[in-house]
Each structure stands twice: as structure tokens, then as C-alpha cells.
A and B are shown apart, each in its own frame.
Chain A
Amino acid sequence: MMGAAPITTTDEEATSRASLWRKLVVRVPYVWLLVFFLIPFLIVLKISLSQTALAQPPYLPVFDLAAGWRGLAAFFGGLSLDNYRLLTSDPLYVLSYVKSVEIAAFSTLILLLIGYPIAYAIARTPRRWQAALVLMTILPFWTSLLIRIYAWMNILQHDGPLNQALMALKIVKEPPVWLATETAIYIGIVYSYLPFMVLPLYASLEKIDEALVEAAANLGCPRWKIFWLVTLPLSSTGMVAGVLLCFIPIVGEFVIPDLLGGSDSPMIGQTIWMEFFGNKDWPAASAVAVVLLCLLVAPIIVYQNQTMRAEARE
């Protein structure tokens, strides 16, 4: 791009100014992300290897620059894997991880089953309606998660609209308990993450060439078979993106299980929150977070590869 600049007397000066701008454009956001995204993770890793202390900050060892090399040696000597041992020995943590992954896996499956027909229906409507339908699907996502979950607290409460409707329609004799159950967590998650599933699915369904479907139909292929052999495989990128976009954040979800679920078996996001705000055990909270990140690192890398490939294709 710079090579296209005209040759003038100030060419050299202009080029050096241009490369200065170039550097600035890259480096400012780069440094910001290094400082506020990458380095914090290293600190979490470090603190997960530290001990709890009744001090400010509440962990040991604290890195002491003034003590020089001896300080550095003491610092590394003070690190230990104790917090990780705690995680494996206490069933509370193990259960919490298992529960989070289980809830995330099942709710992602439900999301796929509900989201697919919706995305398919949007992709099959006339083009001029599609943008509006997509907007309508995203719109609830931009209102606070907290508010959407609160709306469900309203609906699911004991004498709330749902039970009133069920009683009026004589579907149930006794109003069922919804709040503080796992069902409520599933409802909340499916409700909140639906746009994340529908959008990538729609994006890949919308790109499918209709001629392929018509060709299959002309050759006498039954409709379910066309769907199974043509549409479904061609939308696999969208399915992978949607599944990852839902599964990864759901594993670490906090607000939904906290407001809709019971207190007996917390999800891992709640465990981190509790360790941090309740027990004030920062090293333990950090260790829980590091293990969570390790669990999620594989799906995150798959997701990133896919996004970058899509970006390269454009």
C-alpha cells in the first residue's frame, strides 16, 4: 500500500511518518490488551500458587522488588501447588466442575435443537424480512442478562404468571416449584443464549445455494433426505460456531445459576464468586479459575481457529 505513494522530494519524510502512524495504530491496542488481558492471567496463575494470608493483599508471597535477588528466590520458594491439591481433595470443587460441564453440555444440546429450526425458518423467509428477523433475534441479547433473568424470576415464582396459567388451564393440580431448581437454570440459560446459537446457524444456512436443494428434489430425493444429506452437512460450520459460542461461556456462568438455581450444588462460576467474595480466599479462587480456563482452552482454540479461518476466507 505504501509502495503506491508518489515519488516526491518529501517521500522519505512521508514514509517515516507513515510508518510511525502504522506503529501507533498497531501498538496502542496491542499494549492495552497485553496489559489488561494477558498480564492479568499471568497474575491469576501466580496467585493460584500462593498462600492465603491475613494481610493486604490477602496472599503470600508478595513480590518484593527492593529485596533484589534474595527476594526473588524467596518469592519462588514461597510458591506451592497446595491450592490445586485442595481442589482435587475436596469433592465440592470436583462436583462443581462436573455439574458445570454437564449443565453446559445439555443446555447447548437443547439450544441446538431449538435454535436450528428458528435459524432455518429465518433463512427460508423472503430476503427482505430476514434482516428484521435477525434484528429481532438479537435485540433481547442487548438488554441486560440480569434483567432477563429477573424477568424469569417473576414468571417462575410460586404464584407467578406461569403457575397461574397452568392452574387456570387445569394442567396441574398443585402449583409446581420452579425457582431454585435445575429446570429453572436450564430455562434461564436456553433463554439467554438462544441468539448466540441462532445467529451463526442462520449465517451458514443463508449461504447455502438453493440450486443444490432444488437439484436434489428434481432427482427425486425425499425432503427429509435432502435435509439430512445436503442442508445439515452444509450448515456444519454454523453448528460448530454456535455450539462453542454457547458452551464456553455457559460453563463459567454466574448470574443465571445464582438467581434461578438452588444453593446445594453450585456451578463453577458461583464457586469462584463464593471463594472470592464469601471466603476471601483469593488463592483458592484463582486456582479454581485457572483449572476452569484449562478446561476451556481446547474449545476456545477451536473457536479461534474457526473465526480466523472465516476471516481469511473473506
Chain B
Amino acid sequence: MRRVSAFNVATLAAGMAFLYLPIAILVIYSFNASRLVTVWGGWSVRWYGELLTDAPLVRSALISLRLALTAATASTILGTLAALALVRFGRFRGRLLFSAMIYAPLVMPEVITGLSLLLLFVAVAADRGFWTVAIAHTTMAMCFVTVIVQSRLVDFDVNLEEAAMDLGASPLRTFLSVTLPLILPAIAAAWMLAFALSLDDLVIASFTTGPGATTLPIRIYSEVRLGVKPEMNAVCSIMVGVVGVAVIFASLLAKLTGARGAPSQ
């Protein structure tokens, strides 16, 4: 049995405090009754109530949700196909370029991705709005999906697929009844992470959006630039809650199936 040294415990405690204190402070202040953000006026849910009457904010939140649903679904389909191509189809023509295009967006500065997509939309004279942002988010998120699904496919026993095909199942049938159920948890986790990425993005959406498609982060950014506001504390706390629950759920799901996929360990 390993013993954890006092130094390591202190490091972990300090690290986690650094990561979580700022968010905790934000959430606590969102329940502050006082309009002055720095003066504590007692507990209250006043700012959450005021959010509901802020029509443009609610509209933006709905747009962001619809956008995240669309982009997460599209990027999950595309990213899963890309992962299958990379893991199962070995060397195909243009593989190097393909994998380069998968890994580059993971580190690409968002200003470059946003600017380049916008210039594409302008070049083809596409009307900018909901769908252009959806395409941009799909492109950004699909690479994260690919990486997640890929790691699951790599762990997976190819003999299962080969057995199905030896028994006469078509590749599609094999995929639907053998491969898909086994990688489904990774796909679900990837979908949720794509959802969170889309819900959170400010920079790419700012470049590719158009009239009538102001997403929640764009709205928050324009408010927050001017300074700290209690209403914004409340909005941000809600988003932290939603994303936190989604991610914990996603990783529990991944863990659950990880345990099922590796019974020998």
C-alpha cells in the first residue's frame, strides 16, 4: 500500500483550492442580496429571479441551447466516422493530411479558426446566423469527439468484429450490432463534451454569427466587458451548474462502461 506523503497532500489541497475557490466565490456572490457586488447583503435568489424577466438574455440562452444540441449531434456523427476511419481503415490515401486536420484544431488559436471560417462564409456569400455558427462549432468539436471515440476503439477487441463477419454479418450489420453498442458510452461522453464546448464558445461564435443569432456567451461578454454585475454572477453560476452536472454524468458513464469493457482487470 502506497502512503501519500504530507507534501503531496498539501500540493493537491493547494491545487484543488486554486482550481475551485474562484468558481465557489462566484457562486456564493450570485446569492448576494446587495447590488454592490463586493458588499455582502445577506442570502437571496433575487438575481436569479431578475434573469427570467430579461427577455434578450433568455432568448440568447435558448439559441445557445439549440446551437449546442445541433453542433453536438453533428460533430458526434462526423467525429465518430473520423475515428472509425483512423482506427479501422489503416492506411488510406491522404491519411496523413486527414490526421493532421484532426489534431490541428485541438491547439489552433480560436481567433484563427473563427476568422478563417468567417472568410469562407463571406466568400460563398452564405447568410450568417444560426447555421454558420453551428457549422463552425461542429468543425471545432468533431476533433475532440474523434480523439475520445478513437481511444475507445483502440482498446476494443477486434476479434469481436471479425467473429461477427466470419459468421456472415455485413459490415453495416457488424457495426450496428457489435461495434456501436461497445463504443456507445464513449460516443455519449463525446456528445456531452461537444455540447459543453459549443455552449461555452465565445470567440468562434463572435466571428461566425449574424443578426438574430446572439449566443449566450456573446451576450455575457458584452455585459461583462463593462464590469462585474450581480445578474451576470447568477447566469454564470447556472452555466457552471449545468456543465458540471453534464460532465460528471459523462465521466460516470464512461467509467461504468470502462469497467464493463475490461472485466479481466
**Interface set of A (CB-CB < 8 Å, partner B):** 1, 4-6, 8, 14, 17-18, 21-22, 25-26, 28-30, 32-41, 43-44, 47, 57, 114, 117-118, 120-122, 124-126, 131, 133, 135-140, 142-148, 150-155, 157, 159-161, 164, 191, 194, 198, 244-245, 248-249, 251-255, 258-259, 269, 272-273, 276-277, 282, 285-286, 289, 292-293, 296, 300, 303-304, 307-308, 311, 314
Q: Whose C-beta in chain B lies nearest to the C-beta of A258?
A: B225
Q: Which of B26, B117, B123, B247 contacts A150 (CB under 8 A)? A: B26
Q: How far is the CB of B98 from chain A (nearest CB, A)?
A: 6
Q: Could you tell me the distance between the alpha carbons of A255 and B94 in the complex, rounded to whole angstroms?
A: 35
Interface residues of B (CB under 8 A from A): 1-2, 4-5, 7-9, 11-12, 15-16, 18-20, 22-23, 25-26, 29, 37-38, 78-79, 81-82, 84-85, 88-89, 92, 94, 97-105, 107-112, 115-117, 119-120, 122-123, 135-136, 138-139, 142, 146, 150, 154, 158, 161-162, 165-166, 168, 170-172, 193, 196, 199-200, 202-203, 206-207, 217, 220-221, 224-225, 227-228, 232-233, 236, 239-240, 243-244, 246-248, 251, 255
A-B contact count (CB 8 A): 269
Q: Is the CB of B104 within 8 A of A26?
A: no
Q: With contacts A36-B117, A135-B251 known, what are 18 further pairs, Cβ within 8 A?
A: A17-B171, A26-B81, A28-B78, A32-B78, A33-B82, A44-B116, A121-B7, A126-B1, A126-B2, A144-B217, A154-B29, A154-B37, A154-B228, A191-B22, A259-B224, A293-B112, A303-B103, A308-B99
Q: Which of B119, B228, B244 contacts A282 (CB 8 A)?
A: B119
Given contacts A36-B117, A143-B239, A146-B200, contact A29 B166 (CB under 8 A): no
Report the minimal beta-carbon distance from B41 to chain A, rounded to whole angstroms: 14
List the B side residues contacting A311 at CB < 8 Å: 99, 150, 154
Q: Are B104 and A300 in contact (CB under 8 A)?
A: yes
User: What's the minimum C-beta distance from B137 to chain A, rounded to whole angstroms?
Assistant: 11
Q: How far is the CA of A292 from the CA of B115 in the complex (A)?
A: 13
Chain A interface mostly helix, strand, loop or mixed? helix
B162 and A286 contacting across the interface, CB-CB below 8 Å? no
**Residue ID in chain A nearest B23 by CB atoms:** A151
Per the bound structure, the CA–CA distance linking A144 and B123 in Å amounts to: 30
Q: Which of A37, A135, A164, A286 interacts with B104 by CB under 8 Å?
A: A37
Determine whether the beta carbon of B248 is less than 8 Å from that of A159. Answer: no
Given contacts A36-B139, A151-B26, contact A30 B105 (CB under 8 A): no
Q: Do the beta carbons of B105 and A37 come within 8 Å of each other?
A: yes
Q: Pick the contact of A252: B7, B15, B112, B161 (CB < 8 A).
A: B112
B-chain residues with CB within 8 Å of residue A124 when the two chains form the complex? 2, 4-5, 8
A194 to chain B, nearest CB (A): 7
